[in-house]
Amino acid sequence: MDDITIFSSDTSAFNKEIAGEFEIKDIGPADLMLGVKILRTNLLITLDQQHFTEALLDLYGLSKCKPVSTPLLPNVHMSPATEDKIKKFKVLAVNYCSVIGSINYLRTATRPDLSQSVSSLLQFLENPGIQHWNAFLHILRYLKGTQDMSLVYSTNGAMGIKAYSDADRGNCQKTRRSVTDYLATFDGSLILWKTPKKPTVSLSTAEAEYKAVCDLNSELLWLRQWCQQCNLCKFKEPIPIYEEN
């Protein structure tokens, strides 16, 4: 069984088309989809996971914690754990994969602001240490103060895609590979965000930035074709990419 959500001012034509191919059950307007709360007005659609965030804070005893202003501490780079730090973490008897998976779901669904911090912790699924656990708790404290954040999609008529990218140079302490960040907006609302680590070492900052733009461009080519096939907008000019270098 597959669940889908249709966003349209009139879904009757789509329902009729898909019902001709598959057996479907229309259960009406969606309020909750895969843990994401959907709120609709005449002008806006908002997506949030506040209830999921509250449950996480309760689970780890941080529902009344003092919030922090950033997902990770500034100038702190995650590195592989030493044997001593691995032992300290194992004493806690925590399933690290499950722990990081919970905030990774937030990151991929509605919280692009967690992209960098969660990506850094995903690198240590095999041998996590106590410092990675503390970083996870720091993210939860950040969520405490931002749990009502949501993605907002509006209809202001200014259809179009814009994209942004950035990259560091060799910030991975172990491999010196670069981490890139890029995102894209449609009609001013976020529709794409990623924070991948590059597979090779960049010899300069400019090279790292070019690699980030190249990856983003591949995403945009697919996105442009998809928008054209769905008749969402017509592209008379190339998609602008804003890049800091």
**pLDDT interval class at 64 (50, 70, 90):** very high
Identify the residue with better confidence: 245 or 94: 94
Distance CA 144, CA 139 (A): 9
pTM attached to this predicted model: 0.86
pLDDT tens readout for residues 137-177: 999 999 999 999 999 998 776 668 999 998 888 777 777 88
Element (H, E) at 131: helix 130-146
pLDDT tens readout for residues 181-195: 899 998 889 999 998
pLDDT tens readout for residues 8-27: 778 888 888 888 888 888 88
* Domains of the chain (ranges, CATH numbers): 50-146 (no CATH), 157-245 (3.10.20)
| Structure token digits, residue 133 | 């656990």
Burial of 187 (0-12, 13-18, 19+ CB in 10 A): middle
pLDDT tens readout for residues 102-122: 999 999 999 999 999 999 999
Q: Looking at residue 157, what is its pLDDT?
A: 60
Distance CA 48, CA 39 (A): 9
Burial of 207 (0-12, 13-18, 19+ CB in 10 A): middle
Q: How many CB atoms lie within 10 A of CB 30?
A: 15
Q: Looking at residue 5, what is its pLDDT?
A: 85
